[in-house]
Structure 1
């Protein structure tokens, strides 16, 4: 099943209770709440993240200035930026109910605490005729205020109301019939206590959406923290446990930033052929829940880092701050974003070294820099090559004209990576770790072939948007990586 905007939506079979024959009475208005009811998202949160992605300072100033006046806050946020209404995830069964009512001649009204301008735009996009009502600078149309407004407009018992939250209880209390979207057990008891006909629309979210949003497969990148430990051939249990905890801290911290990044990238993700299916973009994971999850992950990451050492906690915080800066600003800056991604990878090496108590040589850092820069180019090449139309890359600073420069930069990175690897292996510090330096030097062949393969596949558009996911399923690439690692082990 697809929604009105062309996005696939999960089909749901409403569970009906106490259904009466007069529900299709053409004289009884059908009133729809919007946030979490007609939409699988909340317009206030959508507007906040759209504004934050556009102007951080103005958004934070607006929040602080209007914290106690939600109606003013909503107005201040839409003056900074607005979400793309046509891309918002719609709850299909509720929209079908509204359209069926319109066809039957019933009045249909959106009545929401969201800003009036957004409600009007949504009604226009969804082609719902009639009068619709939202908050303005002087009125926050929620809870008791909404219930009083509905009684004033339609009289008590003169409308059927579709909602999803405890804030709708007063509006349900004045309605003729209650239609509730996925109420929890406590809310359902409160609804039944109102003594009115009730219809339930099941549509929840669970652990699977949370796991998908955290993207645990990306934690593979944090195995880089073990590189300094392995290269230095330090195999004590204490050092291993310290690096393991630091890796867990980085993984949780990375997931927290993935969540924040998806919140900042909502519009770009919804325009993307694959990323639009991510839980937050698709409305399968509520924005409010995602924000709480991100905060919890940040606290857990810093706590784990502190267990290892305060410096590891500080490096973990630096990584998260750098990732957030990347999401807010740097990812939109052509070339600068590649340097930022490279720096975040190098930070993993440094943190692993601090956790293990070993030294990272300048030659190893130089090798890491050119390899990570090449992989960052691969990421952008893939995105540009797989764009369905040769257009500007959404949410990024790249256009089709950047393909050639990116390709040249990537191939240069491949060559420099090979040279940097040989310099590292022949370095006096590294030479003491290998009994057969020439065998170790031979590992440059599979390493360079692997990087070259990654670049070629990205240019051809045959690589996944997610390089880590591609690497984990690329047998030829994994064989090259294994060959390089095997040569280094033989040389050790």
Structure 2
């Protein structure tokens, strides 16, 4: 915490702390909205549309649909330390927030802040001037220190004795310094590194599938190559937007997860409001690029996002259906590549791709079940340990089907027109099939990574198998 003016704290001066973005690294209203969307999207949208003019009622009705788990919400350590030190000094500490009062009470109980504490009631939306008036009425001008994080806190800072500001921008910092009060700055804002981590750029490797129809149809024109490259960029941006949406609807489950809880949004490193803005920008860029390539490419990008929306809000909780949808996302990539390159992909090759990624979708669930430490179902998913055997059968069956479909496609689908030695290409399936079997076996013991892409790129034995398969594939041309 950076202090502008050194000042000894009188033990009688109360400390008033904002909750959203100050004590917590998140916003309780936005947390509630996304929790409610995940529970009942239609009811949530109706509440949002019908109560925009009455924020206090809006907050209370959203809580009737879903409540964020207060115990899982990320706290800001610097501010929490300030609270604890103030209590240790004998100062009274109070929370004042625009969040619904029931949530403020729950936060106060979690951090043992007896208060009194204040939040929004049905008759009072405790923000900006309304909040400042309540605090001023309780303690008087210059009778309290106030910790906040945004321009909405300016009225409360103006009548405070001392200002504690969390990650203020330059304009707000200058405004606070102009008030002539002691100012402490908590430098704990988000960075571009958090943005890029949330975009999960390494996952764009999945979009290599878009290039397969173009490569299979060689020789091809430069314009076709540029079109495929643009389509891949569009899908990369779409995928990043989808990851953001998935993370927003899966906050509770991610925070319970041993690895996903470190993701930028779940950990509070990237504010929900920033993530929402980033997602909007990514969708706009993605669709603009897709339209420039071909209206059908845009249609596939739109279909990809709509299906992901359905997956995030509902279908990810449906056993077996979720697996088919995960495989479909990869199928859409392949079809998009074919459209962009203006080449035809036969049904057998489409079946091969679907079977491969259906098997890998099973691997994700098998890994999660293998690492599950309780007999209960996976949080946010529909699977229980009792489903392990059926998932294993489906994984191995899909892997076997993928090998058979590729062999049929290579030998029967006119491959001789562009493949010099179809039998040699068929041989590429031997290391590929062994790789799939290895991935499935490791998932059953929990040695797979929760993220298949991460595991594939780190598994040296598996990479060797894939490399051998690719070499044989290329030689056969």
Is 1:16 paired with 2:7?
no
Q: Look up the match of 2:299.
A: 314
- Please give the alpha-carbon distance, in whole angstroms, between the structure 2 residues aligned to 1:223 and 1:214: 17
Alpha-carbon offset, residue 17 of structure 1: 2.1
1:328 is aligned to 2:313 = yes
> Within 2, Cα distance between the matches of 1:373 and 1:234?
31
2:392 to 363, 386, 407: 407
- Shift in CA distance, 456/485, structure 1 to aligned 2, threshold 3 Å: same
Q: Distance in 1 between matches of 2:67 and 2:294?
A: 43
* Residue in structure 1 matching 2:273, options 284, 288, 292: 288
Q: Is the 8 A contact 1:181 1:202 kept in 2?
A: yes
1:223-255 CA-partner distances (Å, limit 9, x unpaired): 101111122224321111111000000000000
C-alpha offsets along residues 164-209 of structure 1, whole Å, 9 cap, x if unaligned? 1111111011111111112111101110111111122211111100
For 1:190, the equivalent position in structure 2 comes to 175
Name which of structure 1's ranges 434-443 and 243-252 shifts more when overlaid on structure 2. 434-443
Distance 1:428 1:143 in 2: 68
| Alpha carbons 2:319, 2:381 under 8 Å: kept | yes
- TM-aligned CA deviation for residue 131 of structure 1: 1.1
**Structure 1 residue 69: Cα displacement:** 1.6
CA displacement 1:26-81 (0-9 Å, x = unmatched): 32211000001000110010000000100001100011011122112111111110
Q: How far apart, CA to CA, are the structure 1 residues paired with 2:204 and 2:87?
A: 49
Gaps of 5+ in 2: none
Following superposition, the deviation at residue 390 of structure 1 comes to 4.1
Aligned to 2:465: 480
**Cα distance in 1 for residues equivalent to 2:115 and 2:235:** 52
Matched, 1:35 2:20: yes
The farther-off stretch of 382-391 and 209-218 is 382-391
Q: Distance in 1 between matches of 2:449 and 2:375?
A: 18
Taking the aligned partners of 1:301 and 1:69, their CA distance within structure 2 comes to 35
SS at the partner of 1:334? Answer: coil
1:58 to 30, 34, 43: 43
* Cα deviation, residue 295, structure 1: 0.3
Which structure 1 residue ranges, 4+ long, deviate > 3 Å from structure 2?
A: 388-391
**C-alpha separation in 1, matches of 2:476 and 2:82:** 69
What are the superposed Cα offsets for residues 363-415 of structure 1, whole Å, 9 maximum, x if unpaired? 11111121111111111111111224443211111111111111111111121
SS at 1:109's partner residue? strand
Do structure 1's residue 263 and structure 2's residue 248 form an aligned pair?
Answer: yes
Structure 1 unaligned regions, length at least 5: 1-13
Quick one: distance in 2 between partners of 1:402 and 1:127?
A: 42
Alignment of 1:105-254 (within 5 A): 105-254=90-239
Aligned mate of 1:90, from 75, 82, 85: 75
Q: 2:330 aligns with which of 330, 333, 345?
A: 345
Instruction: Give matches, 1:375-390, under 5 Å.
Output: 375-390=360-375
Alignment counterpart, residue 415 of structure 2, candidates 408, 413, 430 = 430
- Measured in 1, the distance between the counterparts of 2:216 and 2:445 equals 34
Contact 1:37–1:164 at 8 Å: present in 2 too? Answer: yes
- Contact preservation (8 Å) 1:54, 1:80: yes
Pair 1:356-2:341 in alignment: yes
Do the aligned residues in 1 keep the contact of 2:346 with 2:413 (CA within 8 Å)?
no
1:67 matched to 2:52 = yes
Contact 1:414/1:451, CA 8 A, preserved across alignment = yes
Match in the other structure for 1:7: none
- The CA deviation string for residues 230-285 of structure 1, in whole angstroms up to 9 with x for no partner, is 22224321111111000000000000010011000000000000000000000000
Secondary structure of 2:189's partner? coil
Match of 2:377 in 1: 392
8 Å contact from structure 1 (residues 256, 295) kept in 2? yes
Asked if the contact 1:19–1:199 (Cα under 8 Å) also holds between the matched residues in 2, the reply is no
Task: Report the Cα distance in structure 2 between the residues aligned to 1:282 and 1:36, rounded to whole angstroms.
Answer: 12
Q: Relative to structure 2, which stretch is displaced further, 362-371 or 81-90?
A: 362-371
Q: Deviations over 1:80-112 (max 9, x none)?
A: 101000000001111111122222221111011
Query: RMSD value over aligned CA atoms?
Result: 1.1
| Secondary structure, counterpart of 1:485 in structure 2 | helix
Find the counterpart in structure 2 of residue 6 from structure 1.
Answer: none
Partner of 2:447: 462
- Say whether the 8 Å CA contact 1:99–1:128 is kept in structure 2: no
